[in-house]
Amino acid sequence: MFKHLSTFFFHRQSLAVAMVFTAMGMLFGSWATLIPFVKQKYALDDAQLGLLLLFMPLGAAGMNPFTTILINRFGMRNTTIAGLIFMSVVYAMPVTMTYLPLVAFSLFLVGISISTTNVAMNTCVTSLEHQYSINIMSTCHGMFSAGLMLGSILASFTQGMKIPPTYHMWLITVCFIGLAFFIRPTVMSIHEEKIEAGEGAKFVFPKGALLLMILISLCTNITEGTMADWTAVYMRDVVQTQDYFIGWGLAGYSLCMSLGRFAGDALIPRYGGNQVLKIGGIIAAAGIIISILLPYTATAILGFALVGAGVSCGAPILYGSSARVPGMAKGAGLATMNTFSMAGFLAGPVLIGFVSESISLPFAFALIASLALVWVLLVNKVKLY
């Protein structure tokens, strides 16, 4: 079942692009684990933290209309490398700033960098799949999850050692800038593809099968975004674990997500997207319920790990299916799916902050469990690949 992984890891160009996915994951995982530090530093309540996190999706949404223009102007390869460098720098800024409005502006820049780099690196993956007739999309997203795990573990370790968050973030920033220059020759050897507007790569108003896919995607991506941004806060404020273990909930989630995505390129063709996503929703809901009912370090980590396994194949299935909607121009479904997926992933945690402040964080997590069950029901109503 994992034969495709040996092909992937010995394919130089695939591995180079996967390093960008891994870097994005490590940066995000580090930032997510350090969110409690920012919350404590500025004495923010959950609603205020949610409002602060809003600046990231605002940056991503503001950049989204210009991403295609940027890639077509400078090329997907140059944009991927430049995006990695820019992203590495701006991710270090939120924990460095000493003035809250500058933290908000930094998160806005992070959103811009995520939007740009995300589309560019996924375009590189699509080009490689077309050029070499290989399936690597799910595995590349698995590398993002692996990076998320590594970043959260590393940040937890530095927090436990009382190492200032600024030192941690700027160290990995320097490392990833070096990585960008190291992989540049390999990335530049990938066949260049453009996102042509004439091929339908524009946002369209969703309806029919695409609308159902987007509703499922909102459920999966709100779940992903909530786990990424609020797991560390949950571990500190609800579980009340030690500093060393604050990031381990996110690490367990990321580990199982990466394993699920590594297996996804084999599981999805064998069992079908509908069955894989349906079982995933049940597993994700069970994981969240465990973390709510048993708020202890070990059981919370186990619960979050199950959530990671449950949502792992959501993005590969839904992205792939949206590109194959019958009667829709090539690329239109994918472009629309990307817009809503990014909105769910980045804006969902903002809503969780307000619910948490109004009621409680466990109650907010219970709402996420209900979303997992909603996507289980919706999966029966649309054909997924």
DSSP letters, 322-383, are: HTT-TTS-TTHHHHHHHHHHHHHHHHHHHHHHHHHHHT-HHHHHHHHHHHHHHHHHHHTTS-
Candidates 1.10.3720.10, 1.20.1250.20, 3.90.800.10, 3.40.50.300; CATH matching 3-379: 1.20.1250.20
The three-point CA angle 119-124-128 to 5° equals: 145
Q: Give the residue ranges of the chain where pLDDT is below 50.
A: 198-200
The rounded distance, in Å, linking the Cα atoms of 295 and 312 is 23
At residue 198, the pLDDT reads: 46
Identify which of 337, 300, 125 has the alpha carbon closest to the alpha carbon of residue 220. Answer: 337
This prediction has a pTM of 0.85
At residue 191, the pLDDT reads: 87
Domain residue extents for the chain: 3-379
The rounded distance, in Å, linking the Cα atoms of 158 and 155 is 5
Tokens matching residue 253: 């989630």
At residue 331, the pLDDT reads: 60
pLDDT digit string (tens) for 223-265? Answer: 999 998 999 999 999 999 988 899 999 999 999 998 998 888 7
At residue 93, the pLDDT reads: 96
